[in-house]
Amino acid sequence: MSRVYFLFAVVALFIFIGCSGGEGSPSGKDLTLKKCNQCHSHMITCSSLDEGKEYWEGTVRRMAEKDMDISKQEQSLVVDYLNNLSPGSEPICN
């Protein structure tokens, strides 16, 4: 009987961890808000939201070259996130 309770507890724990979101990978939005705001206001980013993907690839690459702590995978997430935003989008432009 104690094995049944143990198994139930383990399953419940996994369900709880899964439902709480766990650590997981950060989203492009989270990375943009965290990484870009370390050095400048989001309004600088907001003013360029009408630019295309090549612009964002170059900008993010240039920031990485200036020692922004960001992996290639994170760079791609940030580029995709910014490229898909419309001018005036929140939370970048608030």
Domain count across the chain: 1
Task: Residue 74: give the domain boundaries.
Answer: 26-83
Q: 10 Å Cβ neighbour count for 64?
A: 17
- State the amino acid at position 17 in one-letter form: I
50 inside domain: yes
Place of tokens 């419940």: 12
Q: What does the block give as tokens for 38?
A: 């370390």
Q: Is 36 domain-assigned?
A: yes
Q: Summarize pLDDT for 15-72 with one digit per residue, the tens.
A: 544 444 445 789 999 999 999 888 888 899 999 999 999 999 999 999 999 989 999 9
Residue with tokens 């399953």: 11
Contact predicate 62/55, CB 8 Å: no
pTM equals 0.72
Q: What is the CATH number of the domain that holds 70?
A: 1.10.760
Residue 90, domain member (yes or no): no
The answer as to whether 59 is a domain residue is: yes
